[in-house]
Structure 1
Amino acid sequence: MVIRALLLLLLTTLPAMSDSLRLLIPEMRPVVGEMIPVTIRGEYTGSVTLEKMVFPDSPAYDWVQTARDRWVDERVDGTLYRVFERRVAVFPRHAGTLTIGPVTHHLTKAEGTSRIAVNVEAQPVTRAVTPYPGSGRALAARNVTVRDEFSANPSQLGPSESFTRRITLIAEGSMAHLLPARPTIREPWLISFAAPELRETRLTAQGPVAVAVWEWTLRPHTGETGSLTPLRFPWFNTQIREMRGAVTLPVEIGIAGFGNNIGGQAFSSRTMAVQMGAFALAGLVVGMVAALVGRAPAPGRLVAQIRRLLPNPKGRALRKAARTGDLMALRAAAEAFVMAEVRLGRTVNPRPLRDLDEELFSGRQAGTFDRRDFLRRIGA
């Protein structure tokens, strides 16, 4: 009887020799904020009646369990085991050596009519974490998308009419608290009311997905039109290991029927007269060319040809933005310039915009971008 009691006591303090628990972590060199997938795998003999495992918290990382625990019977090297798997996503907070674990699984096994407590421990695993290559809050993800939605056309508002703007930021392979702070939308000509933000981490088969939803009620309190510059969300793409950026389009806000909007801006009478003169001159040139070649274009084609000869109304703002040295302002002005070019029926080389985006989100030292060459290549 004494021997049996000593044996039971020994089993409660030492793990069964045939039981094993380990942390399965892929070989990787993550950056700060990047998801590290961890699988905790246990292989146990006998009948497990109760179990408890607590994944250790640490000031070095955030973590979330990404799926329900899995228990299956599985043969390993010819021996039947009761296999346990738990999937966890770990997000390092700092650069340096990251240690995950140890992890202990507290089991209760049935041995006939007896219950035996067994503790099985997984040894810790370390990984080297590199600094986040960008600035600000570290956001590393497989993919980031941004949706910009409006309850009404902001450029065609009625007098005293408000509209709702909703921005949804989605980062695959991240957690909600790692997303950037709510953007600020504030202009002297705009009344803005912000609704409470929504942040949540959704668990999917591919891992956690971070979602942030920001909503504003906006109303211009003057009759003039205005523009909201694009919002920039830098992030590290874990697939290609480079910084990228999600950017919203510029938003033109104005009262329907106020002024003569061309490309979303109000123009003075002098500007309108100059454009009308240019339109007439372009029509005369096209007509003369058509007469010389002995064929007159169809009215629709004639209008399209005339429009292609008109100056871009956004060119001046683009050149002004280039002189300021603010690349984010230059990106917003370039977007408006490209949209105006498309409305005028002209094609635009997309490469300069891609080069500007790469400069914005590459994390390189500012001041190296050739703005004069950018204006030349984009046609301004």
Structure 2
Amino acid sequence: MVIRLALLVLLLAFPARAQDSLRLILPDTRPVAGEMIPVTIRGEYTGAITLESMTFPGSESYDWVQYAPDHWAEERINGLPRRVFERRVAVFAKGPGSLTIGPVTHRLTKATPAGREDVPVTAPPVTIAVDPYPGGGRPLVTPQLTITDELSADPAFLNEGETFVRRVTLSAEGTMAQFLPQRPGLDENWLISFAAPEIRETRLTQRGPLAVAVWEWHLRLRGEPGTLVPLQFPFFNTIARKMWSAVTLPLEVGATGAAGDTTAPQAGTGTLALALLAGGGLLGAGLLLSDRRPAGGRVRSLLRRLCPNPHRAALQAAAQAGELAALRRAARAYADHERAAGRAVDEAALARLDRAMFGPPGTAQDFDAAGVVAALTRQDGHRPS
């Protein structure tokens, strides 16, 4: 009886199977459909593991991708040595409702005194509530959507029949390439467009997947000049927890270089334009006669001071759209023009914009875009519209 009691105590004290555990760890959040749900699969094992395999279960309810290599480490848990396994997976719910992930089984092969032993360890399923995507169309959910708009030449100086290349790169953290929007169209009657094959890929980083789409067009002016309207991409901002929009700047094509520009001027601007041209011409002639040095730079500087900043409209459009990247590009272009015109620039406003753009997560939540625009445009003599 004493021997049996001792054996029972030993079995209760060292339950080999109970010491192996596997679980799914989810963040304590309420995601929207399409938002990255970081899942950590953590196993705590005993014994010598010689082989292992695990397959993450697929589902019609979600997409998933493993974004980091498996990690093994030796740890002490409750004072006892354990072999710890971690795998990081990003899960994206396809729709709202109750989402169940798992179960997941890790099949281990252990070396024992009696030989090899197969030990399956299973993590029970977990459930998380998913809210509907608040926007329309394909869900795009990310903390940061970045647009890079590259041009092979300044399209404003394009003449009829000449070609330039436009390359737009869209990148979004914490999502997959399939969630990025489709290629926008650049169909205009006054423009011939040749689209290169799309590049669309998901890159894996330590913070999660990074979705990238690259669109390239070869554009040729046909007929009179025109304006390519800003490209706009709505997305759900996971930091602000609301819909935002990323926008590009408008592109004037052939506005300066093309001959025969028949674009009608806005009402009330014709007289001002003639006065500026006449004044600039007379002033330039006077400077040339009164000074033996080239006066072209001084004339251009004076004309910049007389003319309104051409980047104001893009600055205001980016602020209204709530897209920090586009706002920063427009603000930098606006500030460069102001400095060239000899006007003061509110550097503090630019610094606030940089802090919101590059500061720690959550910095942009209280950012006042309209206040920055008002501060920057205060010196140019034109109130924000």
How many corresponding residue pairs?
315
AA of the residue aligned to 2:37: I
Query: 1:74 offset after TM fit, Å?
Result: 1.3
Correspondence 1:122 to 2:120: no
Alignment of structure 1 residues 154-165 onto 2, 5 Å: 154-165=155-166
What is the CA RMSD across the aligned residues, in angstroms?
4.1
Q: Which residue of 1 aligns with 2:237?
A: 237
Q: Point out 4+ residue stretches in structure 1 off by more than 4 angstroms.
A: 264-268, 270-274, 278-284, 299-315, 342-350, 377-380
**8 A Cα contact 1:279 1:310, kept in partner:** no
Query: In 2, distance between residues paired with 1:312 and 1:24?
Result: 53
Give the TM-score normalised by the residue count of structure 2.
Answer: 0.69
Query: 1:312 offset after TM fit, Å?
Result: 8.7
Q: Which residue of 1 aligns with 2:206?
A: 205
Q: Which residue of 1 aligns with 2:44?
A: 43
Cα deviations by residue, 1:192-224 (Å, 9 ceiling, x for unpaired): 1111111111111111110000111110122x2
Query: 1:137 offset after TM fit, Å?
Result: 1.2
Question: Residues 257, 49 of structure 1: CA spacing in aligned structure 2 closer, same or farther, 3 A cutoff?
Answer: closer
Query: In 2, distance between residues paired with 1:127 and 1:55?
Result: 17
Q: Which residue of 1 aligns with 2:66?
A: 65
Alignment of structure 1 residues 258-273 onto 2, 5 Å: 258-259=258-259
AA of the residue aligned to 2:95: H
AA of the residue aligned to 1:246: A
Question: Residues 314, 26 of structure 1: CA spacing in aligned structure 2 closer, same or farther, 3 A cutoff?
Answer: closer
Query: In 2, distance between residues paired with 1:124 and 1:15?
Result: 23
Question: Residues 252, 80 of structure 1: CA spacing in aligned structure 2 closer, same or farther, 3 A cutoff?
Answer: same
Query: In 2, distance between residues paired with 1:306 and 1:122?
Result: 72
Alignment of structure 1 residues 300-339 onto 2, 5 Å: none
Query: 1:112 offset after TM fit, Å?
Result: 2.1
AA of the residue aligned to 1:174: T
SS in 1 for 2:28: coil
Query: 1:301 offset after TM fit, Å?
Result: 8.9
Question: Residues 15, 233 of structure 1: CA spacing in aligned structure 2 closer, same or farther, 3 A cutoff?
Answer: farther
Of 251, 271, 274, the residue aligned with 1:276 is 274
Alignment of structure 1 residues 48-197 onto 2, 5 Å: 48-197=49-198
Query: In 1, distance between residues paired with 2:234 and 2:106?
Result: 40
Unaligned runs of 5+ in 1: 1-13, 285-298, 319-326, 355-376
Unaligned runs of 5+ in 2: 1-14, 283-295, 315-319, 354-381
**8 A Cα contact 2:159 2:221, kept in partner:** no
Question: Residues 212, 310 of structure 1: CA spacing in aligned structure 2 closer, same or farther, 3 A cutoff?
Answer: closer
Query: In 2, distance between residues paired with 1:148 and 1:200?
Result: 18
Query: 1:138 offset after TM fit, Å?
Result: 0.7
**8 A Cα contact 1:103 1:123, kept in partner:** yes
